Amino acid sequence: MLTYILKAEAVLKNVSNVQPLDNLNYPFDYKFKIQCGCTKIHDKPIEINSEGRFQVTGFRREANFLFKCKECNRERYATIKRLPNKIDQDNQWTDILMINTFGIRLLDFIPDDQFECMSLLSNSIIQEIDLSDGEWYDYDQLGNGEISISEVKWKVELVR
């Protein structure tokens, strides 16, 4: 088993509490490029969300992601746990997600789903934020000012 932590950092302007929009009604799809334990790097990224429940063959265990590698024909799986942290400060790495993998190496995170934040100008929650380009700019009409998330960086760190 390998354990990874998904970390993020960004430059924030008039916003805080930046996090994946991840709840029961809208589970966030965490997308990763992966490498199988057999060293095959898979062409297509995989998606894992907290609502996915799959029974692992031969074990009394469930996983959030399960697949059979076409190269080695082995079943590989992963579980995720959303961490309570939110991006609140400029240029400070924040732990977002813990991922336990079995026979999978995580190579890269692809931020291809929606995020949310809180405007410091109006204290309103803003959802449906797209960070796939590493930045987001908007105008808070209630707070009468510019808000933004920029220079977003991601890293998938192996912790054990």
Contact 61, 53 (CB under 8 A): no
Cα–Cα distance, 124 to 127 (Å, whole number): 10
Q: 0.75 cut: is pTM over it?
A: yes
Task: Output the pLDDT for position 39.
Answer: 93
Kindly list the strands in the beta sheet with 46-48, ordered across the sheet, starting from the edge strand earlier in the chain.
46-48, 30-36, 104-110
Whole-number pLDDT of residue 55 = 85
Block mean pLDDT (10 aa), the chain, length 160: 97 98 92 95 93 83 91 94 95 96 96 96 96 97 97 96
Q: What is the pLDDT of residue 121?
A: 98
Strands 136-140 and 145-158: antiparallel
